[in-house]
Amino acid sequence: MDFIVLSLIKAGLIAFVLLTTLAYLQWVERKVLAHIQLRPGPRRVGPHGLLQPLADVIKLLTKEGYVPSHVNKPFYFLAPFLGVVLALLAISVIPFGPEIEIAGVKTQMGMTDLSVGLLFILGLTSVGVYGVALGGWASNNKYALLGGLRSSAQMISYELPMALALASPLLLANTLSFREIVGTQEGFYFGFLPRWAIFQMPFPQVVAFILYVITAFAETNRVPFDLPEAENELVAGFHTEYSSLKFAAFFMAEYANMITVTSIATLLFLGGWHPPFPRELGSDFIPPLLFAAGGAVMLFHGVTQPRGKWDNITLPVFGLIFLGIAALFAGCAVLPMLEPVRQILLPVFWFAGKTGILLFLFIWVRGTLPRFRYDQLMRFAWTFLFPVAVVNLLATSFFVAVFSN
């Protein structure tokens, strides 16, 4: 009974954090793009625009759900449902920390741990193409259909080099379970170099990591592989005929897929929740230092250089919150009585930090690189990424076969 109650609490907490992250990832993207383009970004709804995601949700909930008369209604409604459900299902099998014990009950930091977790996600992403294709076809709009066809073709094409890139670290780990894959990356070479897949012997997977990141951009329909939309068509692609909550579902699925692909990269290539250097070298003190530095900067700007109407209030408040979090992490690092708290907070911090850096890379690339032409996109997949992925997989299998004996 305790296990059931704990699982329900864990499911509710993960759902709340995930949905909040999806909402505020959009806010972060708008802010980062605004800074790249030398403009302020959202600032009017709440302090620093922090309530903008809530305003967007209210707008989408109350907006008229217009359904064009010419659409194929069953598949028109099925497409966004498929997109968002499959995206959220993929996240359910991603662990973000080791097994822990709460009130005498052992539980995993994550919804579940499948022995074939990676295979499960690859299957979901393959089926996820149907949401995009159905959205374009069921709209009965030639521009939406073209956008759906382009998106489907690129997602199918880039799945092959992505699967080959993912197969290489699997040869090193010899398992499909995310938790076991992360377990093989625990420890350090020479006492300081992490045994992450990108450094792991006998064949470091740097090339596979780069290939995976590139294909992840295409799988999530992100710039520079944002091919649903074309400038000469002046429409948004497969979701042109969607509005209100149906458009929000496609929107949420895109950001959920971004979280999924960056989490997979963290688990397979970057050691998951393991720190980048040992505890003996001070890895436990990185979180308190980062939060303390952030809190100090907020306090300084809030007291001496307020730029907005509420900056002299909100910045000091957030600065004090950051300093409080820094004090908590510092206590976990030095006080033995806080060891159970440390075993929860530190893995979550390292996993969220690595995933957050990759998400920032997605946003940064969107603000700096132009969109590919469709022929360039397909040629890049089949004449460069696919051969390189095959060569990397063959080299990995050769070194594993030679040095595993």
Domain ranges of the chain: 62-273+373-403
CA 357 vs. chain centroid, Å, equals 10
Cα(360)–Cα(338) distance, integer angstroms: 31
**What is the Cα gyration radius of the chain?**
23
| Mean pLDDT (the chain, rounded) | 88
What lies within 8 Å, CB to CB, of 152 at 6+ separation is: 129, 132, 133, 136
Quick one: tokens of 171? 């040869």
Q: What percent of the chain has pLDDT over 70?
A: 97
Contact between 83 and 135 under an 8 Å Cβ cutoff? The reply is yes
Q: For 150-195, how does the pLDDT look when each residue is reduced to its tens digit (9 = 90+)?
A: 888 888 888 899 999 999 999 999 999 999 999 999 999 988 999 9
Looking at residue 43, what DSSP letter applies? -
| pLDDT in the model for residue 231 | 62
- Which of 87-91, 248-252, 283-287 shows the highest mean pLDDT? 283-287
Cα(311)–Cα(305) distance, integer angstroms: 9
Contact between 213 and 361 under an 8 Å Cβ cutoff? The reply is yes
Burial classification of residue 287, based on how many CB atoms lie within 10 Å of its CB (0-12 exposed, 13-18 middle, 19 or more buried): buried
Q: What is the mean pLDDT of residues 374-399?
A: 92
Q: Which of 145-159, 204-218, 229-243, 359-373 has the lowest mean pLDDT?
A: 229-243
| pLDDT in the model for residue 230 | 67
Band the pLDDT of 14: cuts 50, 70, 90.
Answer: confident
